[in-house]
């Protein structure tokens, strides 16, 4: 797979090249600033773009804006955005509109080579990958909004969070040491409780969950806006029953426990 990298730090660029040197990736170009990143991508039409958020010349969010620009103008090119810090708004901006082939990960995830490569492959195949940290942030915000998500059991909550990260049933089963059948059962129960439309497509499933979480805890109206239009949420109903999903993660397990669970999951992924 042909990859274009947008990263202004030489060290990290080399690190990425090292990770991608094997396993079917080929770095065809690197760009040290946002403008040349867009130029390289237009010119080379790669199979994957990996970019940092903070880039020259302003060292603010030029990389992110370049990524959004690429997604808007050449939607078929998958993009993974790396950052030293994760925020809910950036995640929602990235999955807004059409959400195929997008990833949002902490920079340090590249150290866990096999998981990172696996995530890249999923994005290349049109999947969505969100860092567990930002998913837990979204779930926490949704939960903070009263007790809508408390109907789920602790186990169902864990499954929901992994769904939001963009994992397949098999992957969730591995992460939680369950059988795939058990995961399917959990997913089906979650769907029932929240009124989400059943879908075998991992990607559509991610979007449904993320949008559900975003709706429970909307971003403030000012500032850059994220559109989570109803029409895009595939058939998701708005019945009160469907409002109960994500809060569960924390409702029962409690914050500390949930953190431990997330850390454990992360360890299991490696």
Partner 1 sequence: MAPSATGRSAVARSLGAALIALAAAAALIAAIEFALYPGSGAGPLWALDLFTVSGLVYAAAGLLAWWRRPSNGLGVIMYGGALSWFGAALANTGQDVLTSVGIVVATVELAVVIHMLLAFPSGRLRTRPARWTTAAAYFTSTVLEVPLYLFAPQNSPRGMLAAADNPALTSAGTWLQRVVGCGIVAVTALILNARLRRAAPTQRRVLLPLDLYGIAAVLLGPLTIDVIEPLTGMSAYSGAAMELIVLGLVPVPFVVGMLRGGFARTSEVAELAAWLGADAALRPSLESALARALGDDSVTLAFWLPGRGGYADASGRPLPVPDPESGRGVAEISLDGRRIGAIIYDAALTGEPELVLAAGRVAAIAVDRQRLTAELLASQEALRKSRARLVEAADLERRRIAQNLHDGLQTKLVLLALEAQQLAGQPSMGPAAAGAATALRERIDAAAAELRELVHAVMPAPLIERGLGAAAEDLADRMPVPTRLEIGVDGNLPEAVSATAYFVVAEGLANAVKHAQASELGVRITRDRDTLLVEVRDDGVGGAAPGGGLGLRSLADRVDTLGGRLLVDSQAGRGTSLRAELPCGS
- Which residues are near partner 1 by CB under 8 A? 9, 11-12, 14-15, 18-19, 53-54, 59-61, 64, 83-85, 87-90, 107-108, 110-114, 137, 140-141, 144-145, 219-220, 222-224, 255, 267, 270
CB 30 within 8 A of CB 5: yes
Q: What is the DSSP letter of 104?
A: E
Minimum CB–partner distance for residue 155 and partner 1 (Å) = 23
Contacts for 46 with CB less than 8 Å, ≥ 6 apart: 1, 2, 3, 4, 28, 29, 77
Length reported for the chain: 270
Taking the least distance from each CB to partner 1, the nearer of 108 and 188 is 108
Q: Give the count of beta carbons closer than 10 Å to the beta carbon of residue 265.
A: 19
Distance separating alpha carbons of residues 181 and 187, to the nearest angstrom:
10
Distance separating alpha carbons of residues 32 and 55, to the nearest angstrom:
7
Taking the least distance from each CB to partner 1, the nearer of 239 and 270 is 270
Minimum CB–partner distance for residue 265 and partner 1 (Å) = 14
Minimum CB–partner distance for residue 235 and partner 1 (Å) = 28
Distance separating alpha carbons of residues 41 and 59, to the nearest angstrom:
20
CB 156 within 8 A of CB 189: yes
Taking the least distance from each CB to partner 1, the nearer of 60 and 185 is 60
Task: Locate 210 and state its tokens.
Answer: 């993320």
Minimum CB–partner distance for residue 221 and partner 1 (Å) = 9
Taking the least distance from each CB to partner 1, the nearer of 107 and 204 is 107
Taking the least distance from each CB to partner 1, the nearer of 19 and 209 is 19
Taking the least distance from each CB to partner 1, the nearer of 149 and 236 is 149
Minimum CB–partner distance for residue 145 and partner 1 (Å) = 6
Strand residues in 1-118 grouped as ranges (E): 2-6, 26-31, 48-52, 79-83, 102-106
Taking the least distance from each CB to partner 1, the nearer of 86 and 99 is 86
Phi, psi dihedral angles at 211 (to 5 degrees): -65, -35
Task: Locate 180 and state its tokens.
Answer: 């795939």
Minimum CB–partner distance for residue 107 and partner 1 (Å) = 6
Minimum CB–partner distance for residue 1 and partner 1 (Å) = 20
């Amino acid at each position: 797979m042909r990859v274009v990298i947008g990263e202004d730090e030489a060290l990290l660029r080399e690190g990425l090249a090292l990770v991608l040197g094997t396993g079917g990736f080929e770095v065809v170009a690197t760009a040290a600033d946002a403008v040349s990143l867009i130029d390289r991508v237009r010119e080379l039409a790669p199979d994957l773009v990996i970019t940092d958020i903070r880039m020259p010349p302003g060292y603010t969010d030029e990389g992110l804006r370049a990524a959004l620009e690429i997604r808007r103008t050449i939607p078929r090119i998958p993009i993974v955005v790396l950052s030293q810090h994760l925020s809910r708004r950036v995640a929602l901006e990235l999955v807004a509109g059409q959400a195929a082939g997008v990833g949002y990960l902490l920079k340090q995830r590249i150290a866990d080579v096999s998981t990172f490569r696996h995530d890249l492959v999923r994005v290349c195949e049109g999947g969505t990958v969100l860092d567990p940290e930002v998913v837990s942030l979204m779930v926490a915000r949704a939960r903070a909004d009263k007790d809508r998500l408390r109907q789920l059991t602790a186990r169902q909550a864990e499954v929901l969070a992994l769904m939001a990260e963009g994992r397949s049933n098999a992957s969730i089963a591995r992460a939680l040491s369950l059988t795939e059948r058990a995961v399917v059962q959990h997913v089906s129960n979650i769907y029932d409780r929240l009124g989400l439309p059943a879908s075998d497509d991992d990607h559509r499933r991610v979007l449904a969950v993320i949008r559900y979480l975003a709706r429970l805890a909307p971003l403030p109206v000012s500032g850059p806006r994220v559109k989570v239009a109803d029409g895009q949420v595939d058939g998701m109903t708005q019945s009160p029953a469907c409002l109960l999903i994500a809060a569960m993660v924390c409702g029962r397990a409690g914050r500390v426990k949930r953190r431990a669970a997330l850390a454990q999951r992360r360890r299991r992924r490696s």
